[in-house]
């Protein structure tokens, strides 16, 4: 049903292939637009966005270790480090 399409990256100007499988994936996810950047430029953009993200520091409510958070903790609500959060999440699923 889908065929490979050659597109031009809007950042670097290089041509890249939007494969039939990628088109199928986009359709399954409900994406309406074709990608505008090649994989290398998408990866660079994601990395830059991750660096700019502000991290907050808090104390884990369960183990007392320092926890790095992508959100500002709300006073009076528990905060967990990644290990304790994974443990709690795993226990809930069982």
Summarize pLDDT for 11-63 with one digit per residue, the tens.
999 999 999 999 999 999 999 999 999 999 999 998 887 666 778 899 999 99
Tell me: do 40 and 66 sit in the same domain.
no
Tell me: do 17 and 41 sit in the same domain.
yes
Residues 66-71: what's their mean pLDDT? 89
Q: Is the pLDDT of residue 90 over 70?
A: yes
Structure tokens at 15: 């041509």
Q: Considering its fold, how many domains does the chain have in total?
A: 2
14 or 89: which leads in pLDDT: 14
Q: What is the pLDDT of residue 52?
A: 66
Long-range contacts of 56-60 (CB under 8 A, 24+ apart): 60/84
CA 71 remoteness from chain centre:
15
Question: Which residues are CB-contacts of 30 (< 8 A; sequence separation ≥ 6)?
Answer: none
- In which domain, by residue range, is 12 found? 5-52
Q: Tell me if the pTM is above 0.85.
A: no
Residues 59-68: what's their mean pLDDT? 94
């Amino acid at each position: 049903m889908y065929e490979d399409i050659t597109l031009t990256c809007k950042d670097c100007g290089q041509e890249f292939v939007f494969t039939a499988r990628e088109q199928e994936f986009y359709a399954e996810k409900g994406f309406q637009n074709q990608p505008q950047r090649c994989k290398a430029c998408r990866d660079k953009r994601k990395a830059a966005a991750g660096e700019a993200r502000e991290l907050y520091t808090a104390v884990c409510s369960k183990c007392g270790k320092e926890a790095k958070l992508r959100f500002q903790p709300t006073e009076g609500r528990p905060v967990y480090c990644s290990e304790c959060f994974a443990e709690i999440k795993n226990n809930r699923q069982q």
